[in-house]
Chains A and B, each alone.
Chain A
Amino acid sequence: MKIIVAIKQVPDRDAPVRIALSANWIDERDLQWAMNEPDAYALEEALLLKEKAGGEVIVLSAGPERVGSTIREALAKGADRAIHILCDDLSARDALGVARLLAAAIKPENPDLVLTGLQSEDVGLGQTGVIVAELLGLPHSTMILQVEKIEAGFKVKRELEEGWFQSIELPTPAVLTMQSGGNNLRYATLMGIKRAKTKELRTVNAAELGVDIGSVVMLERITAPIKQKSTQILPGSAREAAAALVEKLKTEAHVL
């Protein structure tokens, strides 16, 4: 089975994000970057499927040069090879624009399965996988926790709202967007990290893919949210703040 996993490099969740001077994106200087967590779960599922049924796992990522480190991490975890779509203006493209890049790189590979995270932790559009499926003319399902290969294609466990789930069957090939938590994530081993250096990492320039770069939806401006509620921040040392909180909960909020 040939599986393509589309991953995105996003700012590390603990990294402080600041608005760029242009006010239409964040300041990318001095940021730490990480693999988008739902994509890490998509990669994990792909590696588990390969371990069960054999085949190949190809990692696909679009973004500037720095994305290479996240791709190497995926290779170190066990992906077989990678495609890097070199693209310096990813944040200026809308969901359709990004999906067009990914779909153009996926199409010639003819995979049996395309996996990606259900959404990114930076812009959180949650649409890329669905649009990729649409552009490739493939069936899809979203918020998937588990994937099982069956005779007719795939049987997946889809998360619904408020603790409900659903099984869905799809024919091959298909596109699935993965929810986090379906499996435990693996760490790259030292051997894996070493081997990743020798694995194929093919770079394609976004311009070579020949896709339409027009945007239908524009992110015009980024602002800091205006605080709706007035939170009483309790100052002082941990002890002082804790004592003040207990007092407030007793005498002001009456919840103790």
Chain B
Amino acid sequence: MSVLLILEASNGKIKRASWEALAAALRLGPAEGITAVVIGAQTEELAAEAATKPVGRVVRVEHPLLAHYTADGFCIALQQLIQIEGTTQVVIFAHTYQARDYAPALACRIGQVLIGDVVGIEDGPVFTRQLMQERLNGSYRHSGGGPCFVSVQAGAFRADGIDAQPKAASAPITTFAPTINSAQIRTRPGEPFRGSAQTVDLNSAQRIVSVGRGIKDPANLPMVQELATALGAELAASRPICDNGWLPMERQVGSSGQTVAPKLYLAVGISGAIQHLVGMKGSQCIVAINKDSDAPIFEVADYGIVGDLFEVVPALTEALKAAKQ
């Protein structure tokens, strides 16, 4: 199996999600068949880091116009690499915001379709991805000639096992210089910036009560705040609540908000979309209150109450107050 593993860097280091993609690649075939690809204007250190991992070889795709990520630059460079590589069977990415921005376009240029956000790989290979707000799983298969493009969901494959793989020596490193001219890059990216200053540090909270769509109306928030107060917990929310402006963005937990791991995480009326789960599934004890017994939040919960949150939340506040006395 010949696999191109496209690595992504952040602050001069390969992202953990990329090593999870390597773990997924190792499900498909042995390390010798895996070519790790680093992209940028200066990739020497990234390549050296990649060479210590269980991969067959490392390719540095290097060009001054790749200093900053652009979909155009990355698509042009990787399309050229795939062409000279010849027999690639799988091109695999971590399903990051960056990959989501360009991998579908790259696949399309080669007449392929990305199987994105994969959570499982079975023999075949058959790729599993989630459907219907994580309520169902879909099994996908690639057909026809040409490489199969796959991106894997953060946390779906464990990166901590890859260093235990048997490995002879550091993988050989080569450099590929793509042909790109500046006129081909149509977008002008600015420097990343932070949103408004954070005044709530959910990270240091021991207990968090988090509220989701089930709350229906901002007028119902005081009921949840009362529960949080009774628990001595910070109030947080899933994305739709912050999108609606019902709570400030800084209280958002999830991939686009904060990642938290408190002792107790109590999810009220949160269905448990993956974007939320990645931000809280490391919590020590997770409690979910939801009317839908099939809600994916129950997948990660230690305790659950299936019921109407407008009855359960006040009852829980009362029970906590009673327990304190």
**Chain A facing B: main interface SS:** mixed
Chain B proximity mask over A230-256: 1 for CB below 8 Å, otherwise 0: 011110001101110110111001011
Query: B116 is contacted by which of A127, A229, A232 (Cβ under 8 Å)?
Result: A127
Whether A171 contacts B192 in the complex (CB less than 8 A), given A140-B105, A217-B142, comes out as no
Whether the Cβ atoms of A19 and B143 lie closer than 8 Å is no
Q: Does B159 contact A (CB under 8 A)?
A: no
Residue of A nearest to B293 (CB): A233
Looking at A125, A162, A216, A218, the one whose CB has the most chain B CB atoms below 10 A away is A216
Residues on B facing A (Cβ under 8 Å): 71-72, 96-97, 100-102, 104-105, 108-109, 111-117, 126, 129-144, 146, 186-195, 198, 207, 213, 231, 239-240, 242-245, 255-259, 263-264, 271, 284-285, 287-288, 292-294, 296, 298-308, 311-312, 314-316, 318-320, 323
Whether the Cβ atoms of A241 and B312 lie closer than 8 Å is yes
Chain B proximity mask over A131-156: 1 for CB below 8 Å, otherwise 0: 10111000111110000000000000
Cα distance, A99 to B112, chains bound together (Å): 13
Query: A161 is contacted by which of B102, B255, B304 (Cβ under 8 Å)?
Result: B255
Chain B neighbourhood of A96, CB < 8 A: 108, 112-113
Chain A neighbourhood of B301, CB < 8 A: 229, 231
Whether A134 contacts B141 in the complex (CB less than 8 A), given A143-B97, A160-B192, A164-B194, comes out as no
Cα distance, A218 to B21, chains bound together (Å): 22
Query: A223 is contacted by which of B139, B305, B308, B316 (Cβ under 8 Å)?
Result: B139
Cα distance, A234 to B305, chains bound together (Å): 5
Cα distance, A143 to B112, chains bound together (Å): 22
Cα distance, A225 to B97, chains bound together (Å): 25
Whether the Cβ atoms of A180 and B294 lie closer than 8 Å is no
Cα distance, A125 to B138, chains bound together (Å): 12
Chain B proximity mask over A56-67: 1 for CB below 8 Å, otherwise 0: 000000000000
Residues of A104-133 at the interface with B, using a CB-CB cut-off of 8 Å, are 118, 121-127, 130-131, 133
- Please name 16 pairs of A and B residues whose Cβ atoms are closer than 8 Å in the assembled complex, sorted by A: A123-B131, A126-B104, A127-B114, A130-B108, A131-B105, A134-B108, A139-B186, A140-B105, A141-B187, A143-B100, A162-B259, A166-B192, A225-B135, A246-B323, A249-B264, A255-B263
Top 5 A-B pairs ranked by shortest CB distance?
A: A181-B243, A127-B104, A167-B190, A238-B311, A139-B186
Q: Does A169 contact B (CB under 8 A)?
A: yes
Whether the Cβ atoms of A229 and B315 lie closer than 8 Å is no
Q: Does A193 contact B (CB under 8 A)?
A: no
Whether the Cβ atoms of B239 and A181 lie closer than 8 Å is yes
Residues on A facing B (Cβ under 8 Å): 11, 13-14, 16-17, 19, 26, 94-96, 99, 118, 121-127, 130-131, 133-135, 139-143, 159-171, 179-181, 184, 215-225, 227-229, 231-234, 238-239, 241-243, 245-246, 248-250, 253, 255-256
Residue of A nearest to B154 (CB): A161
Whether the Cβ atoms of A242 and B105 lie closer than 8 Å is no
- Beyond the given A17-B132, A161-B256, A256-B323, please list 9 additional residue pairs across the A-B interface where CB-CB is below 8 A: A134-B109, A162-B255, A217-B141, A222-B137, A222-B138, A224-B136, A238-B305, A243-B319, A246-B319
